[in-house]
Amino acid sequence: MNIEQRGREPQDHEPGDRVQPGDPTGDFWEQLRRSTQSRIGLGRTGDSLPTNRVLELRSAHAAARDAVHLPLEVDGLAERIEAIGLGHAARVTSRASSRAEYLRRPDLGRLPADLADVPHSGADLGFVLGDGLSPLALSEHGAPLLAALVAELSEHYSIAPPVIATQARVALGDHIAEAMGVQTVIVLIGERPGLSVADSLGIYLTHRPRPGRADADRNCISNIHPPEGLGYTEAARVVAGLVSGARRLGRSGVDLKDTSRSDALTSGGGLTIE
């Protein structure tokens, strides 16, 4: 091997993988990388990661930081969700006065500053759209996910006008739900960004919500960010199953299980689950 050839990489592998032509290890990592967003088979240059892998990591870290600190554009989100047809979107903020305080004081993000703008409806369901730890996720996925949920649930339940919550933690939804007078609250909230995904949205469902409910009283559906993550329609189908189950059981949380997949199988073609 001459000097010019030394260190060259095969064109069908990532630089730094150090894979020789015909080496089955290269195919192994390449196939796995196609099926996951995790950082695997990164290769090496000497004792370190290849430069491009280091730059990818720094870029992902910067994107995650931006997702946390990006302010939610409330007016634009309100227009998009009001177009769904649930009525005027009320606005609530937590007692965290700034993003910096929100990050330092999670307790303040669980308490409302004022609920005067929230109308009492007494509906079956209420939706709260919170910025959480990724306002980017709510901006990207909040409106289309809400549309899918309404399409799945509106034929069976009455739905209150939605509420947009800023500097919000999950438990803020309990206070808002009590003001709305709903039987079940469904909180759509930005999840903590990771180094693979910065715009993932989560759903937290609480039946008979009230201030003081614990995390064990809720059901969570996470990783909603199509096309790589859970899709809107699939998430809405799971929520519909949980709402129905919570109403039968009389509560949500650890005693309530997602049976949507087995229900879909048992209702199709006579197939039963043993």
Helix (H) or strand (E) holding 242: helix 232-249
Instruction: Annotate 74-90 with b (16+ C-beta within 10 A) or e (fewer).
Output: beebbeebeebebeebb
Residues in the chain: 274
Annotated ligand binding at 118? The verdict is no
Place of tokens 């990592």: 29
Annotated ligand binding at 155? The verdict is no
Annotated ligand binding at 197? The verdict is no
Q: Concatenate the DSSP letters of all residues of 24-69 into one string.
A: HHHHHHHHHHHT-SS------BTTB--HHHHHHHHHHHHHHHHHHH
Q: Which two tokens stand for residue 233?
A: 């329609």
Q: Which two tokens stand for residue 57?
A: 């990591």
Phi (first) and psi of residue 116, to 5 degrees? -65, -25
CA 124 from centroid of its chain's CA atoms: 23
> Which positions make up the binding site for adenosylcob(III)alamin?
170, 191, 220
- Residues forming the annotated binding site? 170, 191, 220
